[in-house]
Amino acid sequence: MRALLRRLHEAAVALLLWRGPAPARPAASEVLSQHLRQRRLPHWTSFCVKYSAVRNDQFGLSHFNWPVDGANYLVLRTGCFPFIKYHCSRAAPQDLALQNAAFTALKVLNAGIPTLLYGIGSWFFARVTETVHTSHGPVTIYFLNKEDEGAMY
């Protein structure tokens, strides 16, 4: 079922973004890891990356652990077209399977309308940018506000 939903989602995004042959794009997971490394493993970060800039290899993940260079991050992730939104907090690994399933179910039940509105709002207000260097070249990520380096919250 998840594979079918992934294919339908990829087809819908490809149709909405309508682009011809494009150069290889990095995986969203690579952008996430590289951003955390570039920030020297911050306590937290919250950013958006355009769907058109990455391969969405984390489809179906809403709340999960993400290990990077010995640190663990609790990641809240949602697709909010035209972006993928990440909120990451450094913390000990936790069992997030139930929370991941609950967040995913909520997104399905509300037909993604709130996340679409969040994406449209982010499109208007995300003015702070940063370049993340990946194996497929630079990717621009967007912030709703400027983050203070080293901030705990």
**What are the residue ranges in the chain where pLDDT is below 70?**
1-2, 4-23, 151-153
Cα gap 121→125, rounded to integer Å = 6
Query: Residue 67 has what pLDDT?
Result: 98
Question: For 89-131, what is each residue's pLDDT tens digit?
Answer: 999 999 999 999 999 898 888 888 888 888 888 888 888 999 9
Q: Which amino acid is at 90?
A: R
Cα gap 129→141, rounded to integer Å = 6
Q: What tokens were used for 83?
A: 């972006």
* Contact present, 126 and 142 (Cβ < 8 Å): yes
The CA–CA distances, whole Å, from 52 to 35, 99, 106, 114 equal: 17, 28, 25, 20
Q: What tokens were used for 101?
A: 């399933």
Query: Residue 148 has what pLDDT?
Result: 76
Cα gap 49→54, rounded to integer Å = 8
Strand partners, 88: 45, 75
Q: What tokens were used for 92?
A: 């000990």
Cα gap 104→22, rounded to integer Å = 30
* Contact present, 124 and 132 (Cβ < 8 Å): no
* Contact present, 65 and 73 (Cβ < 8 Å): yes
Query: Residue 71 has what pLDDT?
Result: 97
Pairing of strands 83-90, 44-50: antiparallel
